[in-house]
Chains A and B, each alone.
With several copies, the nearest count.
Chain A
Amino acid sequence: MNTPLPANDLDGQVLAIEPDAGKRKLSTAKAIQEAIAQQMRADDSVFVMGEDVGPYGGIFSSTTGLIEEFGPHRIIDTPISETAFIGTGIGAAVEGMRPIVELMFADFFGVCMDQIYNHMAKIHYESGGNVQVPMVLMTAVGGGYSDGAQHSQSLWGTFAHLPGMKVVVPSNPYDAKGLMTAAIRSNDPVVFMFHKGVMGLGWMKKNKRSIDAVPEESYEVPIGKARVAREGTDVTIVTLSLSVHHSLDVAEKLEQEGISVEVIDLRSLVPLDRDAILASVSKTGRLIVVDEDYQSFGVSGEVIASVVERQPGLLTHVSRVCVPDVPLPYASQLEYGVLPTPARIEAAVRDAVAGRGTS
């Protein structure tokens, strides 16, 4: 017997190009595809490699349609051999090509991290700048759909801790296109981490900002500059990726109660825009870090330390809304108990303005 498959659009196609008020809107997935396609047209040393990036179009639609235009010679399906094919990307980059290599889930870094952090990230330094590795390592992160402890992690803190690779984490279609364009053109290795929940996939819960206006022409969003996603005066939320949207939702809601929340979208962790963080908390004095990665020894600590090591007396309130140090649980009730949900963010903001400590 065969399976009655539900109607679905795993490749995200149906979401693309919904014209609105004269502005073309794309899903984040489409925006990434477009950035890759434009750079591939402009530079024939660019190619894509990874598991299921060809006819399937990438498990999270990062490469949908590319094989039709560029063929299997430049959009290359690989065996399940992450060490070998990421290494292949490194060697090709050393020889002047510009590979975009997809690691299907960041959770799989453990089978290939040596190539990533001891090779891709260090060759430039070890060679005294004589060898460049212009490579993009693209990977999916994040939870929220019960994919369990090995397929739901964000892990950007792990990558950002290890020197020699830039780490970008877009939250929306515009940034995704511009950061991907910048990443491909960069002469340094860039890890491009997209949250499944910001891709605008048809088969996953998505937020309204995952489909948005994107210019047709090529443009770069500079790597290393945070964005003030929303201005505010009472509390600063420093965050990234999907949590930007939750934070904006909370900020919109609380505005009606007269609580003014500034939301900083980091956009990249390496380099980290410490000036932007400081500028914001200089106004608000209250800092909340919202991070879907594990809480301890990661992004949240770094953001907080970056402020207090420069201005120890500045902050009157500091808290974190992160995944506590627990593997991501499978059951929805448990998973949403540990994810940085709007409810947890809202509670943290209320505590901050009330001067209460969070626990």
Chain B
Amino acid sequence: MTLYPELTDDARREMLRMMVLIRTYEEAILREYHADKSPGFDIGAGLIPGEMHLSAGQEPVAAGLALHLTTDDAMTATHRPHHVAIAKGVRLREMTAEIFGRETGLGRGRGGHMHLFDPETHFSCSGIIAEGLPPALGQAFAFQRRGTDRVAIAVAGEGAANQGAFHESLNLAALWKLPVVFVIEDNDWGISVPRAKSTSVTSNAVRGAAYGMPGIRVEENSVEGVYDAAGEAIARARAGEGPSLIEVHTLRLWGHFEGDAQGYRTDLEGVPGHDPLPTYRNALVARGVITDDDYATMQASAVERVEDAIDFAKGSPVPDPADALKYVFSEGAHS
């Protein structure tokens, strides 16, 4: 994998390509998720059952990080993990099979959409708010102790930044100079609660100072802003200079989870106009970095990869209920 320290046009194309891939993926999951839940939405029904938190609108965060990371770096994410998982390089087929609850999935169907674990890319996530952060410290700790320059990225929402685990993690990481980068995705909402009703400051970036850690806020859902901030923070971490905090003002394009009618949402009207995907595409076209044809190619190749993954998942065997107790422990009998 190429690392792009400078923001070249190649990097820009790569980021757009990543954003397109993610959006294509989320649209496909959206389609599959709802395909067989009617008439009358039944959350437990269909090929993809359960809660579904999609990340459309938050692609800039993922794409801006991706180019700075190698397979050996680690990432922990949240209940809304697809975009950053894709950016981290998690295999689409196995991830999709997990979301479909198949035996070929990352967790053999035991984990599900909020519990994607990929040892190959050191990716994991958790459905408990902010509790994905502490394990990232441990991965960073292992990297540090082994004298490598690997880093761990710990992603959380702005709602998570009011949770105790956030505070403890930032203090410990700063204290031990762990190679961690904390990335807060501020999409303005924690389910139905707007940031102003959850957070006593207007930007979590100011909270970095409470740990003696650089804190930076990337405005306007800017993928290039993320790229720059992440590049610097990751370089810092690799150089042994310790953790950083990056907050990105991003956008939750859809509901908190699928089925969310968003009656509480006051900003809904303006949302489509803020979609970062056409914005960035148009910017790159205008700057001559890509043509409309390039974009169409990106889309086509994304569709191909995504549909391949969906087909793989759908074609995979479902787990055998007789095996439900397998994998509680790695060794020894089930008690």
Contacts and interface: CB of A to CB of B under 8 A. Distances in A.
Q: CB–CB under 8 A between A and B in the complex?
A: yes
B213 to A, nearest CB: 14
Contacts of A326: 324-325, 328, 334
Contact of A126 (B111, B264, B321, B322): B111
Contact of B137 (A87, A123, A132, A150): A87
B41 A7 contact: yes
B131 A80 contact: no
A88 B141 contact: yes
Contacts of A187: 330-331
Interface stretch (A255-263, A278-286, A330-338): A330-338
Contact of B107 (A85, A90, A204, A330): A330
For chain B, the bracket of interface size reads 35 or more
B237 to A, nearest CB: 15
A130 B119 CA distance: 7
A110 B191 CA distance: 20
A110 B165 CA distance: 11
Contact of B126 (A6, A118, A130): A118
Interface string A203-220: 111000000000000000
B175 A205 contact: no
A56 B163 contact: no
Nearest to B31: A4
Nearest to A339: B324
A204 B50 contact: no
Given A119-B135, A123-B117, A148-B127, A327 B328 contact: yes
Given A55-B263, A186-B331, A325-B328, A131 B117 contact: yes
A139 B318 CA distance: 32
Q: Is the interface of A mostly helix, strand, loop or mixed?
A: loop
B330 A132 contact: yes
B110 A10 contact: no
Contacts of B49: 145-146, 332
Nearest first, the 5 closest Cβ-Cβ pairs linking A and B are A87-B134, A91-B138, A128-B108, A330-B112, A145-B44
Interface of A: 1-8, 10-11, 51-52, 54-56, 59, 73, 77-81, 83-97, 99, 107-108, 110-111, 114-115, 118-119, 122-132, 144-151, 163-164, 166, 186-188, 202-205, 223-224, 270-272, 296, 324-327, 329-334, 336-338
